[in-house]
Structure 1
């Protein structure tokens, strides 16, 4: 998918910045599509620092727009469904500095999907400002780590990519064995 996006950016280079930001916004609204392919395309096309900055801008705007849309579309419906789950329901009422710290912490963790953080923030009682600040500040170190990792993978030789792929397959195999052992 990264190659296709780079191709689009090359074909429409005069609008590449706008296209990149719009795609990041769409990915953020979708909530389930990982943004790493957009980051990889941005790094490939724009270079490390400009690509990282564009990904940051796009993801930040995307999170804010998704927050607004999720709040308008899901808040009332979600509260009805969550009444059955008192522990989850109590999380929906976190506000202020506690909400800021929770959002910040979740954004920094690279394995927590952004869409989930945005969704639960939107259906909760978090203010837009608290969400924006926690999300934006937390997104910065997470995106820098993601950009660095993606950049390293994209600049590695074919032999290095094969070694990384084999190591990843081995890691998945070990996880599978451990899960199977626990059952």
Structure 2
């Protein structure tokens, strides 16, 4: 949790702010890059953008550019990087069982896996790109599913910055996040250890 500290989020936001409009553009670009290459926790980037842009505009930036990053990742991998993605996905052996579900109910499963953290977000992008999910289902499912989760992560990022004022709400948000993770693990076990039932 050290990377999610008050100082780190403030420091990143201050660095971005010091560059003026270029810093605002960099904040948007960071969301895209984090979505494609998760080099830092998303909450860190989300919190910095909420501080930089203000809460609601920061949430809009986090949401829109996270969706753009996911779509860009999906399209690039589908066109140029399927062999690389398959190697990356080897560590998630259960994802191979998702192919049939994605082919028949792509939009539903993409949306649910965005709302409930069943898999890492970047793994969803890679898996959808190499499997039989339709681009339309991926895009719509991602846009619908990311909306509540990005809001939750933006609120957590915001409340980490102002923990003295929002300690109660932060604890509630973290409890919701932990519950979502537990729910994700439950559905992962149900979908992939219980056969091919949908």
Range of TM-score over shorter length: 0.7 to 0.9
CA contact (8 A) 1:94 1:124 kept: no
Q: Where in structure 2 are the equivalents of 1:38-49 lying within 5 Å? A: 38-49=45-56
Task: Give, in whole Å, the separation in 1 of the partners of 2:21 and 2:87.
Answer: 47
- Out of 140, 153, 172, the position equivalent to 1:146 is 153
In the aligned structure 1, how far is the partner of 2:16 from the partner of 2:85? 38
Which whole-Å CA distance do the structure 1 matches of 2:115 and 2:131 have between them? 20
Per the normalisation by structure 2, the TM-score is: 0.68
In structure 1, the partner of 2:14 is 7
TM-score by length of 1: 0.73
- The equivalent residue for 1:108 is 115
SS at match of 1:70: helix
Secondary structure of 1:138's match?
A: helix
Distance 1:6 1:15 in 2: 13
CA distance in 2, matches of 1:87, 1:41: 34
Deviations for 1:41-87, whole angstroms, at most 9, x for unmatched residues?
Answer: 011111110110011111011111111222234424666999xxx97
Task: Provide structure 1 residue ranges, at least 5 long, that are not aligned to the other structure.
Answer: 169-183
Per-residue CA shift, 1:81-124, capped at 9, x if unaligned? 99xxx975452244466111111001002464211111111111
Instruction: State the match for 2:162 in structure 1.
Output: 155
Structure 2 SS opposite 1:126: coil
Structure 1 residue 128: Cα displacement: 1.6
The count of corresponding residues between Structure 1 and Structure 2 is: 165
Structure 2 segments unaligned to the other structure (5+ residues): 1-7, 176-198
Rounded Cα–Cα distance in structure 2 between residues aligned with 1:32 and 1:69 = 19
User: Compared with structure 1, are the counterparts of its residues 7 and 123 closer, same or farther at alpha carbon in structure 2 (3 Å cutoff)?
Assistant: same
CA distance in 2, matches of 1:111, 1:4: 31
Q: Residue 163 of structure 2: SS of its match in structure 1?
A: coil
Rg larger in structure:
1
1:132 has 2:139 as partner: yes
Instruction: Report the equivalent of 1:52.
Output: 59
- Taking structure 1 as reference, are residues 123 and 41 closer, same or farther at Cα in structure 2, changes over 3 Å only? same
In the aligned structure 2, how far is the partner of 1:78 from the partner of 1:54? 27
Contact 2:42 2:153 in 1 (8 A): no
Contact in 1 for aligned 2:50/2:57 (Cα 8 Å): yes
